[in-house]
Amino acid sequence: MATNIETEEPKDAKPPHRGLKKGLYLIPTAFTAANIGMGFLAVLWSIRGFQTVFTDPATSAGYFNYAAVAIGLAILFDTLDGRVARMTRTATEIGVQFDSLADVLTFGIAPIALIYSWAIAATFGEHSSAHGFGIFLLFMYLMCGAFRLARFNLQATRPRVLIEGTPKIDKKNFVGLPIPPAAGLLASIVHFTPMPLNVYGESRAQLYTTLVMILLAVLGVLMVSTIRYSSFKSAGTGRRNLYMVLVLAAIGMLIFLYSKYVLIIVSLIYVSHGIIWYLAGFLRPRRRAEAEV
């Protein structure tokens, strides 16, 4: 009588490529760590630049430009960590929280240090009312950015509607302006003209700094608003993957050749496209009728 010998794997045997799978979890974390590193350097370079604002503006401009570029690179790393996590299916809850903490530093505190050193502190006296109001706007920008990140985390972990009136979660769109593009716009402005604003004379410096302060207030309001912004999470998937590669290659080359102009144009387009979509929605008959009720 034939007997069947069953060979069973030991229960303690590790599945194949388990070590490789664990290693994949480190890749998104490495990009997030690079994001934090860029924010850390941006803060240091902003402080270093402020030390010579009044004595050597040219040297300050170099440090301010370094800080702006660091914030721009941080946006790249912040974009890559999420995409890599989705591609490798290594997204974790702790990764989401770690990424948000990194964003508070890199896109909240670092732009504040840069704008304060480059514009507000360089233009207004420390004991002036305009200086104090500028600090208030910087603080509110940080608070709005932190609230925006907290709301995003809550929506990501609890995708259902929490209370009546809360917008539904749409993976193709963000609710409110994300904090990285807001910081990117501020950094692109400094990258476009890194000289501290005090070199333009008292009257022009005050005008330019006032415009920057208005921009801070607008960005803060947009971050806590319910205006929808495209997330581009589905970009580059499916049959359009080749076209997306070509577009990214073209944008990358343009940034390499004309970074001062391309970065500020791209930042302005992204920040304004949500407002344009929002206003265009009221022009539709159905939306306009609902607004009038």
**153 and 271 both lie in a single domain:** no
CA-CA-CA-CA torsion sign (236, 232, 40, 103) = negative
pLDDT of residue 231: 77
Rounded Cα distance between 144 and 36, Å, is 20
Neighbouring C-beta atoms of residue 292, cutoff 10 Å: 6
Q: What is the pLDDT of residue 14?
A: 46
Residue 229 forms beta bridges with which residues?
174
Asked if 145 and 267 sit in the same domain, the reply is no
Q: Which of 82, 35, 83, 72 is nearest to 241 (CA)?
A: 83
Alpha-carbon dihedral 149, 267, 39, 30, rounded to 10 degrees: 80
Do 64 and 181 share a domain, yes or no?
yes
Q: Which CATH number fits the domain that encloses residue 36? A: 1.20.120.1760
The more confident residue out of 152 and 63 is 63
Assigned domain for 288 exists: yes
Q: Note whether residue 270 is domain-resident.
A: yes
- Assess whether pLDDT exceeds 70 at residue 33: yes
Residue 124's domain spans which residues? Answer: 25-159+177-225
Asked if the model's pLDDT at residue 133 lies above 70, the reply is yes
136: closest CA among 159, 153, 119, 116?
116
Average pLDDT over residues 107-127: 94
Mean pLDDT of the chain, nearest integer: 81
pTM for the model stands at: 0.81
| Residue where one domain finishes, among candidates 225, 243, 263 | 225
Q: What is the pLDDT of residue 52?
A: 93
CB 130 within 8 A of CB 160: no
| Tens digit of each residue's pLDDT (9 = 90 or more) over 78-105 | 888 767 666 666 666 676 778 888 899 9
Q: Do 188 and 268 share a domain, yes or no?
A: no
> For position 81, what pLDDT does the model report?
72
Q: Is the pLDDT of residue 163 over 50?
A: no
Name the token pair of 246: 């070509």
Both 212 and 253 in a single domain?
no
How many structural domains is the chain composed of?
2
6 or 193, which is more confident: 193
Rg over alpha carbons for the chain, rounded to the nearest Å, is 23
Task: Let me know: does 177 contact 148? Beta carbons within 8 Å.
Answer: yes
- Confirm whether 167 is domain-assigned: no
- What DSSP designation does 124 have? S
At 97, is the secondary structure helix, strand, or coil? Answer: helix
